[in-house]
Amino acid sequence: MSHSAKPPTRTARASRRTRRLVTALAVLAPLVAVTAVQSSALADDAPRAKEQAESPFTGLPADPAPVLAVKVDNVKAARPHTALEKADMVFVEKVEGGLSRLIGVFSSEQPEEIGPVRSAREYNVEQLRMFDRPALAYSGAQKGVDDLIQESPLYGLSNDNFPGAYFRDDSRDAPHNLFVHPDEILAGAPEASDSSDIGFRFGDDAPEGGEPLEERTVSYPSADTTFNWSAEEDRWLASFDGEPATSTDGERLGGKTVVVQEADMPLSEFQDPTNTTPFIETVDKGKATVLRDGKAYETTWERTSPEGDTTYTLPNGERMPFDRGQVWVVYEERK
């Protein structure tokens, strides 16, 4: 005789539900623990990742930020310079009459004012395309050169077309008294490119080899730029025309790494009425001497296009590691 099974009691049903819940929690517990660990790890890694962001121009901690290039006067009446010590990079280049002019490249830090500002040249368009689309502050240029700059991808904001960003320092003689406010220039260049890889490589340790060196001078017909190694300051100290280069704040100018880059300098298509104007070939390849840690390293530099990186390669085929800090690039005419 068969009997129908009795339905489970309320107590039995509750007991089974409790067992199922305990089982589910046992299965989920490891997953919850793993998720918690992963979330904790991500939270821990976030500040570390931010701390490890490096400037591609100096190798020092810095977040990507808009790039501003400023064309800086470098005759005696223009010195001392303002805020060049805060630049990520400084270029030294030959202009008319065998004089030198500078370009300060700023991204990691934008000082309150920079100068004295002077005019741009034709080759600056090709030269500065390595930074993609930077802002360029300059006092003006020949009409043909200015047209070239305005038609290029650069944000060319000069005293002529963007005068509100500039001011004159009455304590100096014109034309060596024009200064610029970087924040106002960058406000006029809202899509200026952020700092990114331009080919430099950095390392805390210098490579093997290299020749001990205390002093290196690059001479133009009417200007000398000299770097002396200072073991005390662990950097190369700059001098212009035999005089120590200083900022208006009294700080000695100089860099952790100095690149003396040999380049062809044919005549520019746009000539000064009274002096011959050179065009510095920055898309090319050739010899470059890299100075760091009191030594000189012979390398080969190469840049294959205006938008391309500039690389510096040792004889063994490895990229030359720069020391971390401000970099100076001095163009020397190839003989």
Burial class (CB in 10 A: 0-12, 13-18, 19+), 187: middle
The mean pLDDT of 78-91, rounded to a whole number, is 98
Going from the N-terminus, what domains does the chain have, and what CATH number goes with each?
65-335 (3.50.90.10)
77 half-sphere exposure, CB direction, 13 A CA radius: 12
How many Å apart are CA 76 and CA 170, to the nearest integer? 17
Contact (Cβ atoms closer than 8 angstroms) between residue 227 and residue 215:
yes
Which candidate, 60, 191, 58, 54, places its Cα nearest to that of 134?
191
Contact (Cβ atoms closer than 8 angstroms) between residue 306 and residue 130:
yes
How many Å apart are CA 334 and CA 302, to the nearest integer? 14
Q: Quote the pLDDT of residue 273.
A: 77
- DSSP codes joined into one string, 79-125: PSBBSGGG-SEEEEEE-GGG-EEEEEEESS---S-BB-B----THHH
The answer on pLDDT for 292 being more than 60 is yes
The mean pLDDT of 144-172, rounded to a whole number, is 97
pLDDT, tens digit, 9 for 90 and up, residues 235-289: 999 999 999 999 999 999 999 999 999 999 999 999 887 788 999 999 999 999 9
In DSSP terms, 260 is beta-bridged to 289, 330
Q: Quote the pLDDT of residue 282.
A: 98
Contact (Cβ atoms closer than 8 angstroms) between residue 263 and residue 334:
yes
pLDDT, tens digit, 9 for 90 and up, residues 85-136: 999 999 999 999 999 999 999 999 999 999 999 999 999 999 999 999 999 9
In DSSP terms, 289 is beta-bridged to 260, 298
Contact (Cβ atoms closer than 8 angstroms) between residue 105 and residue 88:
yes
Q: Quote the pLDDT of residue 105.
A: 98
Q: Which residue's structure tokens are 């700092």?
A: 195
Share of the chain above pLDDT 70, in %: 84
Q: Are strands 166-168 and 178-180 parallel, antiparallel or unpaired?
A: antiparallel
Q: Quote the pLDDT of residue 52.
A: 63
Q: Quote the pLDDT of residue 62.
A: 97
Average pLDDT, the chain: 88
- A 10 A CB-CB count for 253 gives 24
Reduce the DSSP state of residue 176 to 3 states and report it.
coil
CA dihedral (109, 114, 120, 123) positive or negative: negative
Contacts of 30 (CB under 8 A, 6+ apart): none
pLDDT, tens digit, 9 for 90 and up, residues 177-206: 999 999 999 999 999 999 999 999 999 999
Torsion of CA 230, 233, 234, 240, to 10 degrees: -50
Which candidate, 199, 216, 268, 202, places its Cα nearest to that of 92?
216
Number of H helices, E strands in the chain: 4, 20
Contact (Cβ atoms closer than 8 angstroms) between residue 88 and residue 58:
yes
- A 10 A CB-CB count for 175 gives 17
